Amino acid sequence: MAGVAAGAQAATGMARLRKAAIESPFYLSRRAPGSTLRRMIRHRIGIDLGGTKIEVAALAPDGGLRVRRRIATPEGYEATLAAMAALAREVERELGETCTVGIGIPGTISPATGLVKNANSTMLNGQALDRDMAALLGREVRVENDANCFALSEAADGAGAGCRVVFGVILGTGCGGGVVVDGAVLRGRQRVAGEWGHNPLPWADAGELPGPHCWCGRAGCLETWLSGPALARDRDGPEARDANELPARAAAGDGRARAALDRHADRLARGLAHVVNLLDPDCIVLGGGLSNMAHLYTALPALLPRHVFSDVCDTPILRNRHGDSSGVRGAAWLWPAD
């Protein structure tokens, strides 16, 4: 009974936070381009919320990085909220001003419910993260998918700067994508635009079907073929997780490592061909740990045209400029310049 009472008390506390956020003048003035908060701001805070770490950064008006810190992600939703709020306040004290706050998460806010959905950090699903953080900080907080934040960062002042349509790809523990058009994230009606990793591997052969089981409940998603753990398993079996050493092993003569890298590049080219056929972006920017594999930037331009419905395919495949800072920078850029 004590556990039930504690749970009810926590739920009541969160409900009060959300009510305070909704009634806050900062929250009610959202989307107002000339709001008082926007006029006061000189710096933007971005928070990148991951399953194992939380990163915070503050960007100056010119995009320069002023502050950057990381902590381990605590267990539990409310503890995570408190940690993010504490980081934001600490940065604001250091800068001596109130800042805008944007948060990148491994999921998205449902337009139907206002709650987080599709997050592989499952504690976030079903939570009103933007409203809860707004209540803690006393102002509007913008929340966006982490792959969208990556794409926004690289489109703003990264590898895709100057391109009208940018597709950003994260190849790491998972596999995600984001679309930026004219400097703004393309979210879509269901807020799933760019969720490329949960489409099936195209042009799969008999040996690739039905494909590995995915955490989303389906089989054969691109994430199950293209993520870092997927590449590691292809070479070293079901318990393997780390693919970072495979290029070095291949260069040293490991034929199985070379074959796994070749299969991965071919599958990645097939997946990206669908993006080109649907979106035809001005560039594709790779992020995540696998983006450091140099062979991708020579292999993919040669493989991609085989699958693209065009007489020519010269879509640039670019290495990200901001590395593992892109997600947190993109979260900060959710508040664009006036």
Mean pLDDT of 317-329: 94
Mean pLDDT of 123-145: 97
Q: Domain ranges in the chain?
A: 21-146+327-332, 159-320
CATH number of 159-320: 3.30.420.40
Which pLDDT score is estimated for 29?
36
Q: Is the alpha carbon torsion for 162, 151, 22, 72 positive or negative?
A: negative
Mean pLDDT of 132-154: 97
Q: Give the C-alpha separation, 321 to 115, whole Å.
A: 32
Mean pLDDT of 23-45: 51
Which pLDDT score is estimated for 132?
98
Which pLDDT score is estimated for 36?
45
Indicate the pLDDT class of residue 14, thresholds 50, 70 and 90.
low
Which pLDDT score is estimated for 294?
97
Q: Which residues contact 265 (CB under 8 A, 6 or more apart)?
A: 295, 296, 299, 300, 303
Indicate the pLDDT class of residue 40, thresholds 50, 70 and 90.
low
Read off the pLDDT of residues 58-111 as tens digits, 9 standing for 90 and up. 999 888 999 999 999 999 999 999 999 999 999 999 999 999 999 999 999 999
Q: Which range (20-29, 233-242, 317-326) has the least confidence?
A: 20-29
Q: Could you give the percent of the chain with pLDDT greater than 70?
A: 87
Which pLDDT score is estimated for 183?
95
Task: Compute the residue count for the chain.
Answer: 338
Which pLDDT score is estimated for 4?
41
Residue 182 pLDDT greater than 80, yes or no: yes
Read off the pLDDT of residues 289-309 as tens digits, 9 standing for 90 and up. 999 999 999 999 999 999 999
Q: Which range (41-55, 161-175, 243-257) has the least confidence?
A: 41-55
Residue 316 pLDDT greater than 80, yes or no: yes
Residue 45 pLDDT greater than 60, yes or no: yes
Mean pLDDT of 315-330: 94
Which pLDDT score is estimated for 121?
87
Which pLDDT score is estimated for 300?
98
Q: Which residue has the higher pLDDT, 330 or 6?
A: 330
Which pLDDT score is estimated for 63?
87
Which pLDDT score is estimated for 23?
42
Mean pLDDT of 222-250: 95
- Domain 21-146+327-332 and domain 159-320, same fold? Reply is yes
- CATH architecture of the domain with residue range 21-146+327-332: 2-Layer Sandwich (3.30)
Q: Which residue has the higher pLDDT, 12 or 137?
A: 137
Q: Which residue has the higher pLDDT, 152 or 27?
A: 152
How high is the mean pLDDT of the chain?
Answer: 89
Mean pLDDT of 229-255: 95
